[in-house]
């Protein structure tokens, strides 16, 4: 699968480099044209950056977008009730990031509570990393946990992992396909790769290894054409 990404900050669509607000590369006031362009892909990835960073939320805008296109939604889902609320809106899957970890460890209590209410088929766990370590809270804090050390323990609580290679996020310098291939070899769950994917060849290689792609900057900067991506679906 290929998932175009819409990241929201302060009510606007943005693209950041390595998740840093000061490194904002793209800012759009309207999402409507994007929805039209992304409709053929079926489902998009929608991230509330303000909620992820603990600086408010864009819930009202998310409600509007979810009515217009199928979405996987993440960013600041720290309560089971919030997860339920999003699914009640019609969200396809929820993306759990920081809440899966606490005090440098996996938060099994939260994940167990979540699984009692939300089926694992509806849950994606984000294992975002910098230099191989899982990072949380908008990629600002390292857990010191290695991605390959936690993926198997997290596997029972979700149906999919969103693995963002933050080292190259938004930089349009290519990604580390071998990193994602290694993760895929460690789990039976689906893997969606994100972070630095810049070329159609990378998308193809990931697809050949049964790994989905979440694409942001490469689409917005027109490094990869949407029509070329649609041929891969």
Active-site residues: which are they? 7, 128
What residues does 72 pair with on adjacent strands? 45, 93
Burial of 107 (0-12, 13-18, 19+ CB in 10 A): middle
Kindly report the length of the chain: 233
> How far apart are alpha carbons 113 and 6 in whole angstroms?
29
Distance in angstroms (rounded) separating the CA atoms of residues 99 and 80? 10
User: H/E element holding 102?
Assistant: strand 101-102
Calpha distance 5→45 (Å, rounded): 5
| Torsional sign, CA 7, 193, 204, 199 | positive
Helix (H, G, I), strand (E, B) or coil at 15: strand
Q: How many helices (H) and strands (E) does the chain have?
A: 10, 15
* Residue 194, burial from CB neighbour count under 10 angstroms (0-12, 13-18, 19+): buried
What phi and psi values does residue 187 have, to the nearest 5 degrees?
A: -145, 150
């Amino acid at each position: 699968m290929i998932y175009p990404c819409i990241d929201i900050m302060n009510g606007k669509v943005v693209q950041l480099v390595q998740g840093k607000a000061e490194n904002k590369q793209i800012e759009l006031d309207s999402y409507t044209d994007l929805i039209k362009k992304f409709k053929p892909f079926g489902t998009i990835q929608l991230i509330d950056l303000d909620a992820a960073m603990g600086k408010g939320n864009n819930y009202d805008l998310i409600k509007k977008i979810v009515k217009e296109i199928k979405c996987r939604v993440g960013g600041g889902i720290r309560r089971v009730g919030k997860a339920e609320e999003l699914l009640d809106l019609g969200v396809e899957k929820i993306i759990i990031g920081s809440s899966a970890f606490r005090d440098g460890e996996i938060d099994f209590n939260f994940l167990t509570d979540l699984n009692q209410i939300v089926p694992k088929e509806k849950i994606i766990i984000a294992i975002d990393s910098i230099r191989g370590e899982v990072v949380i809270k908008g990629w600002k804090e390292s857990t010191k946990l290695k991605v390959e050390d936690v993926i198997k323990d997290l596997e029972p609580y979700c149906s999919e992992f969103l693995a963002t290679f933050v080292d190259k996020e938004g930089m349009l310098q290519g990604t580390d396909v071998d990193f994602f291939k290694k993760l895929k070899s460690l789990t039976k769950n689906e893997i969606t790769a994100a972070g630095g994917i810049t070329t159609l060849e990378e998308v193809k290689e990931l697809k050949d290894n049964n790994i989905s792609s979440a694409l942001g900057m490469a689409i917005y900067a027109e490094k990869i054409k949407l029509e070329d991506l649609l041929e891969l679906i």
